[in-house]
Amino acid sequence: MTDTPPPEPVFSGIDLAKSFLPDWAKDVAPSRIVERYGRDEEPRREAGRGGRATGRGHQDRGQRDGRRERDGRGQRDSRRPDSRRDPREVRPPEAPPALVGWTATVVPDPRGVEGLVKQIRSGGKAYPIFALALLILEKPERYRVELRRDSGQAPDLFQLSLDGSLWTTAKEAGRHALAKHLEKFYRRERVSVEPPKGSFSCVAVCGDIVLGPPNHHDYQKRLREIHAARFRNLSFDAFKNRVQMVKDPEFIEKWKQERSSKDEFFALESPEGSARFPDLESVESHFLANHAGTLIAAVENRVEISGLAAASSPVVRQLAGHAVSDLRRFPLPLAHILGQGFNSAGLQVFKAHENITYVGVARPRHLDRAAAPVAEGLAAILDYLEAHPTVPRPDQWKALLALRTTPAEESARESSLASDLSWLIHQGHVMDYAKRGLEAVRKPKPHRDGPPKKDK
C-alpha cells in the first residue's frame, strides 16, 4: 500500500519574489544566483533622463490610452441604452440589512504567515509590513474573519460544518446545504408526469428561467423556490421586479415541456425506495429533521470563518466585507497582527527610511571595521555599497562581481559573492530592501540633544 500525498492546502501562498516586481517585469524568469541579488524590483534607470524608468513604450501607450478614454474614443456610449437588455436587469442589488451586535476582525491565515516566514528567511530581503498586509488582503484564501458577539441583543448565527458558512437561521443553512451538497444526502431522479392542462396566454420569465403562467396553481411556490435557489442576494420584492410576462408561444411551449417531467428525491441513507420525496420542500423538511443536528451548530459568542466562505448569509458577507475594505484603506491593525507573528517566528521587525516598518532576518547593525576588521571580500562589498547607495540592484551585482578577480570561473565568483552577501545580510550589516536594493548599514548619527541634563 503506497502512501498518498497530502491534499493541497487551501492557502496557495504568496510569491514575494513576484509580488514586489513591477507589472512589466513579473513574467521575466530569473536565473541561478542572480534571482536573489541580481534582479532589481524597480524599473531600470537611464542615465541622462533625470531618473526616468525605461520601458517608455509602456508608459507612452498608457498615456495614449488615457487620452483616448478622456476623449471618449474607443468606448461604447454609456448614454445609449442597450435595447436587448431589460433596464431592470442592470439595477444594483439592494444592500442587505446590517448584522447588528456582531463585530468582524480580519486575521491572516496561519499557514500564510508560515509561508511568508519561510520566504523571508530563505531570501534575506526586508519587506514593508504594510505592503505584506495589503498582499494578504488581495485574495480571500489568505485571511480569516473572526466574528464576535458584542451585544446581548445580537441575532443568532448558525454555522454549516460542510463548508464553514454562516447563516442567520438553521433553515437558511439547510437550504444552502441542499443547494450545494444535495448529492451527498439524496439521489435525484427525473420522472415523467402529465403535462399542465388549461389555456395559458403568457408565462413569467426571469433571465433564462421560465417560471410559468401567473394563473397556474403553483406559480407563487415556483417564484419563491427560484428566489431561494438563485437570487438570495436580492429581496423578494426586488426579485419580482426582474420578472417579465412574455406572450411568446415558444416560451409557453417550453414551460409545458419542462412541466412534463419532474425531479423526485431518495434519501441515500435509507433502503432503496423507502424514503421518497416528491419535491425539494419535502427534502428540506427531511434534511432539517435528520441532519441539521449534526451539521448545523448555533454560534455562541465567537466564530472564525475562512475568507473563502463567501457563500454565507448576505448580512455576514456585508459585515466581513466592510472589515476588509477598512483594512485596505488603513491596514495598521492587520500589520500589527503580522508583526506579532513575525516576532514569534524569530524574524526582526524594525523601522527605517523615514519610519517605515520592515520585517527581515536581522535588524540593521553597523559594522565598525576599525574595531572589527573583516576579510577583503567583505570589506570590498561594504566599500562599494557605501559609495553607491542608490545604484539599481542589477548594476550593484555586476559591479560587485567585477571586483572579484578570483576564482577564474564566473559561476564560482557568483557563488562566492552570494555567500559573502548572505553572511552580511543575516548579520544585519547589509540590508536587502525589497524594491530598493542593497544598502550598507551606516554608522548611527549621534543624538543632537547631547547627553541628558542633570536635574537641578
Same domain for 214 and 262?
Answer: yes
149 inside domain: yes
70 inside domain: no
Per-residue burial over 378-388, b = 16 or more CB atoms within 10 Å of its CB, e = otherwise: bebbbebbeeb
Same domain for 107 and 117?
Answer: yes
pLDDT of residue 78: 41
Q: 385 lies in which domain range?
A: 10-47+362-444
Same domain for 248 and 309?
Answer: no
111 inside domain: yes
Closest CA to 286 of 163, 174, 173: 174
Q: What is the pLDDT of residues 199-246, one digit of tens each?
A: 788 888 888 788 888 888 788 888 887 887 778 778 888 888 888 888
Q: Given pLDDT bands bounded at 50, 70 and 90, which one contains residue 421?
A: very high
Q: Which of 39-48, 242-251, 333-342 has the highest mean pLDDT?
A: 333-342
Same domain for 284 and 191?
Answer: yes
Query: Any long-range contacts for 119-124 (C-beta under 8 Å, 24+ apart)?
Result: 119/14, 119/15, 119/16, 119/17, 120/16, 120/342, 120/347, 120/359, 120/360, 120/361, 121/347, 121/361, 123/16, 123/17, 123/36, 123/432, 124/36, 124/360, 124/361, 124/422, 124/425, 124/426, 124/432
Same domain for 194 and 255?
Answer: yes
76 inside domain: no
pTM here? 0.69
Same domain for 192 and 271?
Answer: yes
Q: What is the pLDDT of residues 290-308, one digit of tens each?
A: 999 999 999 999 999 988 7
Q: Given pLDDT bands bounded at 50, 70 and 90, which one contains residue 450?
A: low
Same domain for 273 and 341?
Answer: no
Same domain for 182 and 137?
Answer: no
366 inside domain: yes
Q: What is the pLDDT of residues 315-340, one digit of tens each?
A: 899 999 999 999 999 999 999 999 99
Same domain for 130 and 209?
Answer: no
127 vs 452, more confident: 127
Of 321, 340, 360, the position where a domain reaches its end is 360
- In this structure, are residues 255 and 173 in contact, taking their beta carbons and an 8 Å threshold? no
Cis peptide, bond prior to residue 407, ω within 30 of zero: yes
Same domain for 181 and 289?
Answer: yes
Same domain for 252 and 274?
Answer: yes
> Is a pLDDT exceeding 80 seen at residue 447?
no
> Is a pLDDT exceeding 80 seen at residue 188?
yes
Count of domains forming the chain: 3
59 inside domain: no
- In this structure, are residues 104 and 145 in contact, taking their beta carbons and an 8 Å threshold? yes
Same domain for 196 and 291?
Answer: yes
- Residue keyed to cell 549621534: 446
